[in-house]
């Protein structure tokens, strides 16, 4: 091996490297891309939704019940 040939090194797993999922159609057109930011936004959205649901349930549980409107009586019919 001379000095210009490179020695093949073993592939290593770099955990700091990002990831991207790209899905292509049968005609080799890009259909959609999933990036790490999309995953984080989904997780944050699920957390915010869960937080709102818990708050909504607690507010509904401890709020006073709504009283129905008092029934309005129709005026008595006058029979002659």
Instruction: Give the model's pLDDT for residue 79.
Output: 76
DSSP 2: -
DSSP 3: T
Q: How many residues does the chain have?
A: 80
Q: Identify which of 29, 31, 12 has the alpha carbon closest to the alpha carbon of residue 21.
A: 31
CB atoms within 10 A of CB 38: 13
Instruction: Give the model's pLDDT for residue 19.
Output: 81
Flag whether pLDDT at 4 surpasses 70.
no
Give the predicted TM-score (pTM) of the model. 0.50
CA distance 21 to 44: 20
pLDDT tens for each residue of 19-74: 888 999 999 999 999 888 888 999 999 999 999 999 999 998 888 877 877 777 77
Instruction: Give the model's pLDDT for residue 5.
Output: 63
């Amino acid at each position: 091996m001379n000095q210009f040939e490179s020695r093949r090194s073993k592939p290593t797993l770099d955990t700091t490297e990002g990831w991207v999922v790209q899905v292509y159609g049968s005609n080799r057109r890009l259909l959609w891309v999933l990036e790490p930011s999309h995953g984080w936004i989904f997780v944050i959205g699920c957390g915010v939704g869960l937080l709102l649901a818990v708050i909504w349930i607690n507010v509904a549980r401890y709020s006073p019940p709504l009283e129905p409107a008092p029934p309005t009586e129709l005026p008595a019919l006058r029979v002659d």
